[in-house]
Structure 1
Amino acid sequence: MDDTGLVLILGLFGLLIIGTPIAIALGLLTLVGIWMADLNLLIAAQRFIAGSSSTTLLAIPGFILAGELMGAGGLSRRLVRLASTFIGHLPGGLSMSTVGAGTFFGAISGSAPATTAAIGSIMINELETRGYQRGYAAALSTAVGPLGQMIPPSIPMVIWGVLAEESISKLFLAGVIPGLLAAAGFCVVSVIYAKRQGVVSESRASGTDIIAALREGLWALLAPVVILGGIYGGIFTPTEAAMVGAFYSALIGLFVYRDLHWRQLPGILINAMRTTAVIMFIIVTASGFAWVIASEQLPTKITELILGVTTNPLLLLLFINLLLLVLGAVMDNISAMVIMSGVLIGIGAQIGLDPIQLGAMVVINFAVGMVTPPLGYSIFVASSISGMSIERIAKHLLPFLGVLLLVVGLIAYVPAITLWLPGMLG
């Protein structure tokens, strides 16, 4: 590896250690790499612009806005009530209701932190009132966050589809079964916890209560049907689906549920723009950095180095998953995806890994990173909402992390889990 490569790698770790924001670190190293290669620094601006010029990336602000509108418009609250009506009387029923609501919300927001924020703001206090420890309630709200990245639509799946030039619709489908398996595992944890802690179940809902919850929750349930049905029915693209989701959430919140008011829209738009700006800032700087390391042939050199150690596909899959889990725990997911895409695609091609399976594996590993200290965004969100320390939340997170790691293992070694549904698409 030449001097430029060493400077880029060591510089990245050094800047992160001293607390430099990831986007700033990547932007600075892009400039350093271009300067060391004796190229015109205007290339940096060109690469930054190129990193944001894909029309597919327009799906990101759409899904972010849809998530904001869904939370403010009362859709998430009604999903919680609907789930609680059907399973609240079971052992761990309220906890499982939280999982169910997080699964449905994830089918609209496409974001782990957004799912944690929407569900946690409703359920943490409610769970504590019903006998659950507050740390457990915060951990559960954190754990359901990754469902927003597994269950389609998913913002990271959109980004990986752009990077790897793969079908976003197929990538969406690849996350369905892993997401449902994770949700089922969380429900098992909920039952075990409730029985061990002696949490008293709610009374069984009456027929009247069920009808009322269905009547109120119907429009919220239809949101993922509209979005995903439109994509797979060929009515609109994933990018257009994001805008349809935002429009649908606004329409229902303003005119059906009427929990959303016109005066709230400017604040919601500002929040969505702020989140979008942060994500896009990371994407453009990471894109520039990825171009520099590609021009230095670092992905090829790293791939050859790894393949020089072993060519056993099973061991390489284990190594890739461990690498992704570590990167997800210490680095921003989007940056890591952009930077590592060349290496991961190269290794995947060498061992005959299906590109859709690889994409699902990458995104879901990084989804686990969203709930893993020290940089798990969902933990920060849950900590802010609950007032609990990250250490207290992390203690209760362990069984949920165990479920997620089991799902990661299944994705790696049972290809049908991610490829069966995309195969049905053709």
Structure 2
Amino acid sequence: MGLLLSVFFGLLLLSVPVFVALGGASLAYTHFIGNLPDFVVLHRMAGGVDSFPLIAVPFFILAGNLMNSAGITNRIFDFATAAVGWLKGGLGHVNVTASVIFAGMSGAAVADAGGLGTIEVKAMRDRGYNDHLAVGVTAASSTIGPIIPPSLPMVIFGVMANVSIGQLFAAGFIPGMMMALSLMGYISWYAWRYKIGADQPFILGVLGRTFIQAIPALLTPIIIIGGIATGAFTPTEAAIAACAWALFLGFVVYRTLSIKRFYQISINTIETTASVLMIVAAASLFGWVLTVTQVTAQFTALLLTITDDPIMLLLIINVIILIVGCFMETIAAISILVPILMPAVAAVGIDPVQFGVVMVLNLMIGLITPPIGMVLFVLSRVANISIEKTIKATAPFLIPLLGVLLLITIFPQLTLYLPELWYR
């Protein structure tokens, strides 16, 4: 065990890719300590990605990339502006509303920050909003993307923990809406505190016109979520349907995609998918080695000596995941932590679906916390401000997000109501 962890953390300190650290540490153990044939390593890695639900990964990534490139984000933003721009702190509410709609399409926080974020920050600056609010709310609202279905991190969690992805998707809907409402509540307080008014009056005609223009885009989450909820197709099939619809919008309806652009999007999707699946494969091997060396059993025993109360244990695990999320990318964190934490979660009777949503929300908060928060770096580039200013702008928005995390930790029904209604 000492060799395994030493090599793993040593490689991380050398800034090698996460999948190399996971695979290298596992290979060192199997070769020098486990005395196992090297083909066992390949077998375990291949087995880790030999999963039907993982087929959804490239298609959800492709769908998000297509949405960002097909002119859909502009139409979503215009509709959200007409719908809630009349509230005090208008464009702040628009920012959150647009992210909720986009969440039903991409399932990735970085895609939200990079796609909608460009439009949102510019619009708020043009209306006189300071960067503190513009950048902060854009970063915080982007974390809603992987909570409201579909969600790429939940697909990875479902595969690693052997949990129904459909139930995970259903479980994320209420917490995602809670995140949106809590952020809008903070924006309302901020607007009252600093006397920020509305950005435009409510005009029914404008709302109707922007709604009609956005209908094709708005149908995307309806197709995905509605199809899964009604049993028309599986989450994997939903990802394929989302890609087909996005292609139809880009090439036929909006005519914003070209063959050349589609080729570039496909290459980017392949690169992203390859990195994700390499992490999953290496993490599967690493998790197997942790099990063989009894690390997971020892860690479970350690946690259970502290408490066997489900809520208290989940609060302790929250702290662990929050700390890990500050230093590690989401997919890697899920792949490493699930084999370690799931035995303790199961031992005290915590529903794995609830735990999946809690873990993903924890790691979404990690995306907007230093030093590794990817959304912070994306928005620093989008807004053309320093990373220090981005961190300072985002910090106050951690309060409502942590509040939601606490609520779904203490009250399991907030996550389990819809899965029980639809699947159980």
**TM-score (normalised: structure 1):** 0.95
- Equivalence map 1:289-308=2 (5 Å): 289-308=286-305
Give how far 1:326 is off: 0.7
Q: Are residues 1:238 and 2:244 paired?
A: no
Q: Which moves more between the two structures, 415-424 or 203-212? A: 203-212
Counterparts of 1:33 and 1:139, CA distance in 2: 44
- Moved runs in structure 1, 4+ residues, more than 6 A? none
Give, in whole Å, the separation in 2 of the partners of 1:207 and 1:133.
Answer: 29
**Residue among 18, 37, 42 paired with 2:39:** 42
Question: How far 1:200 sits from its partner (Å)?
Answer: 4.2
Tell me how far apart the structure 2 counterparts of residues 221 and 399 of structure 1 sit (CA, whole Å).
31
SS at match of 2:190: helix
Determine the structure 1 residue equivalent to 2:58. 61
- Specify the alignment match of 1:271 in structure 2: 268
Deviations 1:306-329 (A, max 9, x none): 212332333312111101111111
SS of the aligned residue for 2:86 comes to coil
Residue number in structure 2 paired with 1:257 = 254
> Who is 1:79 aligned against?
76
1:91 and 1:118 map into 2 onto residues whose CA distance is 25
* Residue aligning to 1:178: 175
Report how far residue 234 of structure 1 moved: 1.5
- Per-residue CA deviations over 1:118-163 (Å, capped at 9, x if unaligned) read 1111111111111112243222222122211100011111111112
Structure 2 gap ranges (5+): none
Mapping for residues 106-125 of structure 1, pairs under 5 Å? 106-125=103-122
Q: CA deviation at 1:275?
A: 1.3
Look up the match of 1:138: 135
Q: Give the corresponding residue for 2:280.
A: 283
Residue type matched to 1:11 in 2? V
Q: Does structure 2 conserve the Cα–Cα contact (< 8 Å) formed by 1:177 and 1:418?
A: yes
Pick from 313, 316, 323 the counterpart of residue 313 of structure 2.
Answer: 316
Amino acid at match of 1:69: L
Distance in 2, matches of 1:421 and 1:195, equals 35
Please show how residues 120-199 of structure 1 align to structure 2 within 5 Å. 120-199=117-196
CA distance in 2, matches of 1:389, 1:279: 28
Deviates more, 1:414-423 or 1:338-347: 338-347
Q: 1:17 aligns with which of 2, 13, 16?
A: 13
Residues in 1 aligned to 2:269 and 2:191: alpha-carbon distance in whole angstroms: 36
CA contact (8 A) 1:139 1:382 kept: no
Output one character per residue of 1:392-420: Cα deviation in whole Å (capped at 9) or x when no partner. Answer: 11111122111111111111110110011
Q: Name the TM-score, length of structure 2 as normaliser.
A: 0.96
Taking the aligned partners of 2:396 and 2:135, their CA distance within structure 1 comes to 13
What secondary structure sits across from 1:396 in the alignment? helix
Q: Is the 8 A contact 1:328 1:368 kept in 2?
A: yes
Q: Deviations over 1:338-388 (max 9, x none)?
A: 222233221112211112111111121112112221111211211221122
- Range that drifts further, 194-203 or 46-55: 194-203
Q: Distance in 2 between matches of 1:355 and 1:141?
A: 30
Structure-2 change in CA distance of 1:24 and 1:99 (3 Å): same
- Structure 1 letter corresponding to 2:2: L
Amino acid corresponding to residue 72 of structure 1 in structure 2:
S
Counterpart contact for 2:92–2:133, Cα < 8 Å: no
Q: Secondary structure at the match of 1:227?
A: helix
Q: Which amino acid aligns with 2:36?
A: L
Query: Mean alpha-carbon deviation: is it higher for 373-382 or for 16-25?
Result: 16-25
Q: Does 1:33 pair with 2:29?
A: yes
Question: RMSD of the alignment, in Å?
Answer: 1.5
